[in-house]
Amino acid sequence: MRRIFVKPRELVVPGTLLAQGPFKNGRGTFKEGNRVYSTVVGLVEIRNDAIRVIPLEGPYIPEVGDNVIGKIVDVRFSNWSVDIGAPYEANLRVQDASEERIDVAKTDLKRIFDIGDIIYAKIKAYNEINQIDLTTRGMPFRGGPLRGGQIVEITPYKVPRLIGKGGSMINMIKKLTGTRIIVGQNGWVWVSGRKEELEKLAIEAILKVERESHTQGLTDRVREFLLSRLNGLKEQGVIEEIPQLNEENAKEGEET
């Protein structure tokens, strides 16, 4: 018998019975017999025959295909250990770090990625023994480390709100501040600006989105906040002009 006991986006707690029947249990759930239960405090997501719970608290839980930002914490013989904000360190193997074949016996891996380097990678594999494998092949920046900038950490489940519908929120922040921003699905955000004041402003906007992510009309408030601060920077002579948003950037959108 197929039955769903909760609604999409419903807030649940550990132990909540979510569904019964031939469902696939995803992140934040466990299966007992033909019943699926929640393991975390979070929001229910139902897609076709799969049910998962997006956690509202706790560390990032990896999922294959996620794009993440990480920090190299150790360099070994043929791989790097990477902190991605998950309960366990991730692993980046030599063969997943470059499009070219690397002879580890003749190559100093620190010349590719060294301790402290910030990388943009994809979750390649994540198994039941908590082994997390990354790849930087085919990623932007030719898979190299992200240079300069700052890392901002937000709650992972608020990442869709920061990105916005069709990228509306994050593109607006980038456009108005003239910064480069990369958002990892693990809640780590890399921000790099040509001016320190603009980089700081972008970070303030990102943190504002995190604080007020549960409220309506957030896109308008973030835009007003940015324009107000930019006017101040123009009066101080820090910037000459305030970037103009086109109609698509300026439209209010409901963030996903």
The model's pTM: 0.81
| Residue 109: partners with Cβ closer than 8 Å, 6 or more residues away | 75, 76, 77, 78, 80, 94
Which runs of E-coded beta strand occur in 99-214? 118-126, 132-135, 150-153, 179-183, 188-193
For the segment 226-236, what is each residue's pLDDT rounded down to a tens digit?
A: 999 999 999 99
Residue whose C-alpha is closest to residue 148's, from 197, 189, 190, 182: 190
**Residue 140: per-residue pLDDT:** 81
Residue 250 above 50 pLDDT? no
pLDDT digits (tens, 9 = 90+) for 141-158: 766 899 999 999 999 989
Q: How far apart are CA 52 and CA 42, in angstroms?
A: 9
Q: Give SS3 for 172.
A: helix
Q: Give Cα 195 to chain centroid, integer Å.
A: 24
Mean of the pLDDT values across residues 160-189?
96
Strands 67-75 and 118-126: antiparallel
pLDDT at 247: 54
CA proximity to 120, closest of 137, 95, 99: 137
